[in-house]
Amino acid sequence: MRRSGRNSTRLLFLVLLLVVAVLGALRFGLVPQRYAPFAPISLDEPPVWFVDARLAALRHDPELCRTVLHPPQIVATPIPDRVRPDGCGWTNAVRIAKVGGAEIGLSQLTCESAAALALWVEHDVQPLAMEMFGSPVTWIQDMGTYSCRNIIGNKRWLHTRSQHAYANAVDIGAFRLADGRKLSITRDYRANTPEGRFLREVHMRACRYFRVALGPEFNAAHHDHLHLDRGMLSSCK
CA distance 33 to 150: 32
More confident residue, 35 or 72: 72
- The answer to whether 40 touches 58, Cβ cutoff 8 Å, is no
From residue 195, how far is each of 4, 137, 142, 183, 228 by CA, in Å? 64, 13, 18, 6, 20
In a domain, 230, yes or no: yes
In a domain, 199, yes or no: yes
pLDDT at 26: 60
| pLDDT higher than threshold 60 for residue 230 | yes
- The answer to whether 54 touches 47, Cβ cutoff 8 Å, is yes
Q: How confident is the model at residue 11 (pLDDT cuts 50, 70, 90)?
A: low
pLDDT at 149: 93
- The total of structural domains in the chain comes to 1
Q: What is the mean pLDDT of the chain?
A: 90
CA distance 90 to 148: 10
In a domain, 133, yes or no: yes
pTM of the shown model: 0.91
In a domain, 178, yes or no: yes
Give burial (CB, 10 Å; 0-12/13-18/19+) of 23: exposed
In a domain, 228, yes or no: yes
Q: What is the extent of the structural domain holding 145?
A: 67-236
In sequence order, what E strands does the chain have?
A: 74-79, 82-83, 89-90, 93-99, 102-110, 137-142, 169-177, 182-184, 212-214, 226-229, 235-236
In a domain, 62, yes or no: no
| pLDDT higher than threshold 60 for residue 13 | no
What is the tens place of the pLDDT at every residue in 116-141?
A: 999 999 999 999 999 999 999 999 99
In a domain, 28, yes or no: no
Q: Residue 140's closest CA among 99, 92, 169?
A: 99
| pLDDT higher than threshold 70 for residue 15 | no
| pLDDT higher than threshold 90 for residue 19 | no
pLDDT at 18: 53
In a domain, 60, yes or no: no
